Amino acid sequence: MRSFYQSTMDHYLADLGAAIVRDDPFHYMISAASFVKFACSALFMENGQFEPSHRGFLSRVLELKTLPDGFSGYFESFLRPDSELPPSRKYEIAKLIAKGVVLL
């Protein structure tokens, strides 16, 4: 199951990059949301926990026992409002999150 979450996370990471290249804000938003969901799902799986409702994702994922190094900071930076970081920088952060998840 974890491999499914990781491969789907990687798929949405690629979509995120494509949305930036195409300057497509709608595709970027959908890809970013899906990337976050599947990255978190992989972490819940790694920790042997069920996924909470979407309302609990933010608080519960940061409380997990096993997280990649630097995950909390990267995750919070990725979730900042769009005006604070350009999409290209958020994509770089997403790649760091994905790499950390895969290396667990």
Q: What is the pLDDT of residues 11-24, one digit of tens each?
A: 999 999 999 999 99
DSSP 68: -
Which residues constitute the domain of residue 42? 2-103
pTM of the model: 0.92
Check residue 55 and give its pLDDT: 82
How many domains is the chain partitioned into structurally?
Answer: 1
Q: What is the mean pLDDT of the chain?
A: 93
Asked if 43 and 103 touch (Cβ cutoff 8 Å), the reply is no
What pLDDT, on a 0 to 100 scale, did the predictor assign at position 48? 95
- The length of the chain in residues reads 104
CATH value at residue 89? 1.20.120.330
Does position 88 have pLDDT exceeding 80, yes or no? Answer: yes
Residue found under tokens 């804000």:
25
Alpha-carbon span 50 to 104, nearest angstrom:
18
Residue 23 tokens read as 């300057």
Residue 57: predicted pLDDT: 82
Question: Are 6 and 101 a contacting pair, CB within 8 Å?
Answer: yes
